[in-house]
Chains A and B, each alone.
Chain A
Amino acid sequence: MKKNWWKIAAVVLVLYSIIAGFLLKVPVLPILHETIRNLYFHVTMWFSMIILLFVSVWNSVRYLSGFNSKYDIVAKEAVHISIVFGLCGLATGMLWANYTWGEPWPNDPKLNGVAIAMLFYFAYLVLRNSIDEEQKRARIAAIYNIFAFVMFIVFTMILPRMTDSLHPGNGGNPGFGKYEDIDNNMRMVFYPAIIGWTLIGTWIMQLGIRYHKLNTIIHSNKN
């Protein structure tokens, strides 16, 4: 129980963000109206994804500095769950865009950047599966992961800021918070939601790592 408190916290925080997200008062803004509640789901997905991708790349660096296969498994599982978060982020974003910008996929640099980032990580999985030898797979995947993460940051954080984007905070658009569109009421839900979803991601990641460990034990017993 002592070790599992954070899992309870994860569930409580996510439940809180869903319930409070739909019930609490939100600022009344033109165009956005009630869709502003999607902030609690859409933006949190991206935050959790980036945090988990950072965990992944950190573990890849650690793998390269000591060649301990433990870190490679963490890196792989973190990418798996980041891809799930990324797809959820895309789905919620498309829903939101449909109601505020008029179409599910407006030609926006941030959308295109993220679609390319998803391709990066799908390519990472293909790369992993195309190498049989375990040590070699771990090493090459770690190298590609570091490469991909740096490029991902450039393409989703720097490039969209240079061009016109529909997203707040890009291309001269003011970020959230500059106008009083996020009030403190919303922050009370938004920040816990990020923590909650990241913890949920960590939990799923941990289950994946355990599954992997058990699998290797079973296989080594068979031989």
Chain B
Amino acid sequence: MKLIHEIKHLIHKEFLLEFRQKYAFAGVLLYVFSTVFICYLSFKKILVPANWNALFWIIVLFAAINAIAKSFLQENKGRQLYYYTLHSPVAVIVSKIIYNSILMLALSFLCFFCYGLLIKNNVQDIPFFILNIALGSLGFASVLTMVSAIASKTNNNFSLMAILSFPMLVPMLITLIKTSKYSVDGLDRSLSYPYFGVLLLINVLIIVLSVVLFPYLWRE
């Protein structure tokens, strides 16, 4: 019960921080908009649905890395020490994962909206595509939160963030591209179920690993 209470407080704190430093979130939004706009200017129209789908996921991937990298990198040593005295490490990592998932969900839906607006959206099964986006954002958020925690402990953290997270994200990305291709083409929904199972399994595994390993990572 105490843990849930702590998590609630920490999530509230994350939102408050985000609200006070609006430039960070605005920066990520601008990044998404400009990427989509650049794609629009360079492609104008994408006729092959497979390309449309792959490009969408690549935009989301880079937006995710940019948005979540800061989640631990922005915290200085003093503040981390402060959390350490106040909360259990499990509460800290879980609250960060939940907060980043919410952030990613908002970001990728926005990305889907603008992308569909500028480059013609020809998804046939929109509810399932949205489900795909939701699962993908949760997965990206949980992987990147833990990787950002690892990278924040090193000297050159931003480049390391990319190196450490790409191998973990690529298989997830491939699975996502495959299932969302099914919804773009409007194929039978039962085709995507096993892949959803795998995505959920990866998500659960990553969250469990993060909760188990984060207490070791945290101690200085």
Contact = CB atoms under 8 A, between A and B. Distances in A.
A26 interface: no
B216 A143 contact: yes
A15 interface: no
Contact of A123 (B167, B175, B195, B213): B167
Interface in A137-173: 139-140, 142-144, 146-148, 150-151, 154-155, 158-159, 162-163
B167 A146 contact: no
Contacts of B85: none
A146 B211 CA distance: 13
A207 to B, nearest CB: 28
Given A144-B164, A158-B198, A159-B198, A112 B153 contact: no
A113 B172 CA distance: 11
A68 to B, nearest CB: 14
A132 interface: yes
Interface residues of B, number: 29
B200 to A, nearest CB: 12
A131 interface: yes
B205 interface: yes
A131 B154 contact: yes
A162 B154 contact: no
A143 B154 contact: no
Contacts of A140: 150, 153-154, 217
B155 A131 contact: yes
Q: What class of interface size applies to chain A in its complex with B?
A: 20 to 34
Given A130-B156, A131-B155, A143 B217 contact: yes
A127 interface: yes
Contacts of A113: 171
B205 A127 contact: no
Contacts of B178: 163
B160 interface: yes
A188 interface: no
B174 interface: yes
A139 B205 contact: no
A150 B219 CA distance: 23
- Top 5 closest pairs, chain A to chain B, by CB: A119-B167, A120-B167, A155-B171, A130-B154, A143-B213
Interface of A: 64, 112-113, 116-117, 119-120, 123, 126-127, 130-132, 136, 139-140, 142-144, 146-148, 150-151, 154-155, 158-159, 162-163
Interface of B: 146, 150, 153-156, 160, 163-164, 166-168, 170-171, 174-175, 178, 194-195, 198, 201-202, 205, 209, 213, 216-217, 219-220
Given A127-B160, A162-B194, 13 more contacts: A116-B171, A126-B160, A127-B154, A130-B156, A131-B153, A142-B216, A144-B150, A146-B213, A147-B146, A147-B150, A151-B205, A159-B171, A159-B198
